[in-house]
Amino acid sequence: MNLLATRIDLDAIAHNTRTMKDLVGGARLMCVVKADAYNHGVERVVPVMERAGADAFAVATFEEARTVRALTDLPVLAWLWAPGQDIPEGIEVAAPNIAHLRALADAPAAPRVHLKVDTGMNRAGIDEEDWDEAFSFARRAGLDVVGVMSHLARADEPGQDYNDVQAATFRRAIECARGHGLAVETNHLSNSPATLTRPDLRFEQVRVGVALYGLEPVEGADNGLRPAMSWVATVLAVRRVAAGEGVSYGLTWQAPADGYTAVISAGYADGLPRAWQERFEVGIAGARYPQVGRVCMDQFIVWLGENPRGVAPGDEAVIFGAGGPGATELAARVGTINYEVVCSPAGRTAREYVGGGGDSGDSAAGAGADGEGEK
């Protein structure tokens, strides 16, 4: 038994991947598995997504690309790199400016290239005034260009006019590239929210991330996705406190009445920030209990009141996931987004797996045993 673990439902990952694949029809489904598959474990997640319909994978860094390349024969795209780095063999790369294009032209074995253009997010990409120079260079250098890519800044606001502004710019980039003799046959703009809400922006490929892990990217929407991660801790102790007594460092919280507290096995060294303190609840045996006092390095405290359900040491405490608040609810309580919430578990948090992810040879019990102690 792990005192603290993320429990990953591989069947939910498979369901979400199939849901997105069915939704996009003829478009290719590129599955984003950066940051260790959004902290779900890339080694277990990539094979499940491939069986469920993935057409390609995407990551941020070359190191991540090497890991994914070893797990699949499908295309793997990396977009966060600097000229001078050694480019792993067999991956595709994004080129966000002319310096990157020149580095690719000089590479010993030039990879397939995605021309990353800025359409208005103003974070990364070739600016429109540089398109002619960049696309002409790519053609003259004989680079193997897959297509044009960009990123939407406000896709989680489906009615936002800026999405249309960016889409129009993206279409101009495609036409400009073709005008310079580049085929750009596989172009991609849509992330998870755009894929779900803007079928007109799917082009030849979509680049889906958070939806694959069961998190709704558009507030208030319900697209039938199944959250794959639960973060579960353990009740270490139950303590009697009198009305007015304080708990944890600084005694910043005092019991409103005679009652009980529970000590839970997670702290900021495990990815639970002090900034969340006194802003969230945990689920124990079907009931919710508020966190109180300071979050410590290894533990935090919840208020049980009179403890009518008899919470006891050894009970499971759900920080988010099945049996507790969802990641999206927790995010709203602590002032962040569900993306950050699922990326938070760290430190001594183990990783456990349930479900076979569509593979009958990988039983739920076996997957859980395989996952014991991973991080």
**CB–CB of 148/134 below 8 Å?**
no
Please tell me which residue in 21, 34, 116, 353 is annotated as part of the active site.
34
**CB–CB of 192/217 below 8 Å?**
yes
Count Cβ atoms below 10 Å from residue 121 Cβ, excluding itself: 14
Active site residue 34: yes
Q: Which helix (H) or strand (E) holds 17?
A: helix 10-24
> Would you call 263 helix, strand, or coil by DSSP?
strand
**CB–CB of 364/355 below 8 Å?**
yes
Question: Measuring CA to CA, how many Å separate 174 from each of 41, 210, 368?
Answer: 35, 26, 46
User: Which of 70, 5, 85, 84 has its CA nearest to residue 33?
Assistant: 70
Please tell me which residue in 38, 162, 249, 353 is annotated as part of the active site.
249
- State the Cα–Cα distance between residues 1 and 281, nearest whole angstrom: 23
**CB–CB of 59/234 below 8 Å?**
no
User: Could you tell me which residues come within 8 angstroms of residue 36 by beta carbon, excluding any fewer than 6 positions away?
Assistant: 42, 64
- State the Cα–Cα distance between residues 371 and 349, nearest whole angstrom: 12
**CB–CB of 24/228 below 8 Å?**
no
Active site residue 249: yes
Which residues are catalytic, by number?
A: 34, 249
